[in-house]
Chains A and B, each alone.
Chain A
């Protein structure tokens, strides 16, 4: 069964350092999402891609966060500099994107758990 891949699974860093997370969506999925999940809460959308284009980054803290999906396949989320409050699970999800209404399941990867010290 096809799955969304993410790496690394865990990352410990010191504040002010740079971190990067990688996501490989399910093959053929045009729409890719990055979510942040704080412990005990539901995921919150950071950025959404349709192919290589950003379609929603309204919730992305652009002073320190950046995301790219240069070839419309895999994606990287970067934080620079990391702050203590960035400690969370970073989840990637994808869907085929063939349903304009959005009525289509998003499949999630295992996530990257970030701890900022």
Chain B
């Protein structure tokens, strides 16, 4: 079925390093993608989004890259900080889905001081 999956369930980095979290999606009709950060016991927090007519979008310390050819999405976090430790989910939707988001399984990012 249609799903959004993640390549790695866990990622451990040193404070100050750059982090890259990957996501593969299977629905070529998806036209909107969102990255969420979820800390333990809290709801998902919006980080950054990208539409399918773009291949890159930058925010504060974060960059999302979209490769529609291979249906791949990535989240880059620059100068990773301990406060970035959380589970990161990518989510996708497409026009006829009624805005229903499909989430991947999440990647646990651990930042070591």
Q: Choose among B41, B43, B105 the residue that contacts A108 (Cβ–Cβ < 8 A).
A: B43
A-B CB pair tally, cutoff 8 Å: 68
CA distance in complex: A80, B34 (Å): 33
Interface residue A85 (Cβ < 8 Å from any Cβ of B): no
The answer to whether B31 touches A101, judged by C-beta atoms less than 8 angstroms apart, is yes
Q: Which residues of B contact A42 (CB under 8 A)?
A: 4, 89, 91, 103-106
List residues 23-60 of chain B with CB under 8 A from any CB of chain A. 31-32, 34, 36, 41-46, 49, 51
The answer to whether A113 touches B103, judged by C-beta atoms less than 8 angstroms apart, is no
The answer to whether B43 touches A109, judged by C-beta atoms less than 8 angstroms apart, is yes
Interface residue A44 (Cβ < 8 Å from any Cβ of B): yes
CA distance in complex: A55, B31 (Å): 20
**How many interface residues does chain B have, given as a range?**
20 to 34
Interface residue B1 (Cβ < 8 Å from any Cβ of A): no
Nearest Cβ distance between residue A91 and chain B, in whole angstroms?
A: 5
The contact string, 1 if C-beta is below 8 Å from chain A, for chain B 46-86, is 10010100000000000000000000000000000000000
Q: Choose among A6, A41, A45, A55 the residue that contacts B101 (Cβ–Cβ < 8 A).
A: A45
The contact string, 1 if C-beta is below 8 Å from chain A, for chain B 80-109, is 000000000101011101111101111000
| Interface residues, chain A, with chain B CB atoms under 8 Å away | 4, 6, 31, 40-45, 48, 55-56, 91, 93, 95, 101-111, 113
17 contacts between A and B (CB under 8 A): A40-B106, A41-B106, A42-B89, A42-B103, A43-B89, A43-B101, A48-B98, A48-B99, A91-B44, A102-B95, A102-B98, A102-B99, A103-B31, A104-B99, A105-B46, A105-B49, A106-B46
